[in-house]
Amino acid sequence: MTGRYSLTRRAVGSLLLNGLYILIAASLADARNLDIPPPADPYAAPQIDPYNPLKYITTNAYSAVGVALTLAIALPQTWMTWKIGGRYMLALVIAEYTYTAGIALRFGLHVHPESNGIYIAEYLFVTLSPCGFIAAEYVLLGRLSRWLGASAHVLIPPQKITRVFVLSDVTTFLIQAAGGCISASAHTNPQMAVTGSRIFLAGLALQLASFAFFTLLYLRFLYRVHKYQPETWRQDADGLWWKDWRSLAFALFISCLGILVRSVYRTIELSEGYQGHLTTTEKYFYLCDLLPLLVALVVYIPFWPGRFVPDKLPTPEEEDDQETDGVELGKEKLGEGTFIDSEGRPSKASA
């Protein structure tokens, strides 16, 4: 299993880097084919500047706060990954740095608001880095269910859940990358920009649907553990609350909500079109993209998964024994003549 998760992390990182090379190459190949000359002062009226892809001048103060906050999350989590454990969360940590790089590139857009190359790199890092956050959530649920010995309560087997959802994440990533590559030339070829934004929107909508399904699957898992393995649910109840595995479970739920809010915002933003109000208004980026993602990430500082779920999990045989023990403990609470069926549901024995 370690090799599988390592492969997942390498694939996500490779896709981010390859996508960057693709979009940078597109920016270098993109010719300035407008018939009108650029304005003498790009700061005078950016909202009507055909060479300014954002239609506003980025604010350095906002960019500085964004970079500082994301680094304040990424650096401690990097330390915890190596000192405490949880290397299966590397996709999240790496994506935090690429997302920070995207925000930092907004400093460059303040100095060069008409730079197509800087804009494309910023656009890629900011819009595609959350794919790494999402991949980490998928990995965490699979490992959490196996560590608790509650794999029977996950609709998709934990051994396959990472593969299934990461495959979905990679597919939607590639769709978004293709759409972003096309739409990045919006101010020089509006027709292609419309096509690109529609492709990007399709990838984003598919990613939103996939992650919403994952969130529902996760809530179902918690419900079934609470109902059918009560001893597992309360196994840390006598200890400190911040060492209770349910604290991590709640953190994962809050993280999912943050990513969902951001995904809904991006979907609405793209549905308005490339020059829509959300896209061309700076405050919405920070309120509806950066802020929800900060919430999704910061919850893992006090509840770092490596404190709860070790890097090395039980073998499948040990996991089966652990899960059987959990079911037997729960069975004691069901009463005479009641048993747990193969799907973990209580049933009455037939006469």
The domain ranges of the chain are 2-326
Contacts by residues 339-342 (CB-CB < 8 Å, ≥ 24 positions apart): 340/228
pTM metric for this prediction: 0.81
Q: Where does residue 24 rank: exposed (0-12), middle (13-18), buried (19+ CB within 10 A)?
A: middle
How confident is the prediction along the chain (351 residues), in pLDDT tens digits per residue? 455 555 455 555 555 555 555 455 444 444 445 567 888 899 999 998 888 989 999 999 999 999 999 999 999 999 999 999 999 999 999 999 999 999 999 999 999 999 888 988 898 899 889 989 998 999 999 999 999 999 999 998 877 877 788 788 778 878 877 777 676 555 556 677 777 778 888 888 888 999 999 999 999 999 999 999 999 999 999 989 999 999 999 999 999 999 999 999 988 988 887 678 998 999 999 999 999 999 999 999 999 999 999 988 765 555 555 555 544 544 444 444 444 454 445 555 444
Q: Does domain 2-326 have CATH number 1.20.1070?
A: yes
CB 319 within 8 A of CB 146: yes
* CA-based end-to-end distance of the chain: 43
Half-sphere exposure (CA, 13 Å, Cβ side) for 238?
3
> Beta 338-340 vs 346-348: how paired, if at all?
antiparallel
Task: List Cα–Cα distances, 95 to 5, 217, 275, in angstroms.
Answer: 16, 24, 27
Residue 33's nearest CA partner among 197, 192, 199, 195 is 192
| Amino acid type, 75 | L
Task: List Cα–Cα distances, 14 to 2, 254, 259, 265, 293, in angstroms.
Answer: 18, 28, 22, 26, 22
Count of other CB atoms within 10 angstroms of residue 242: 10
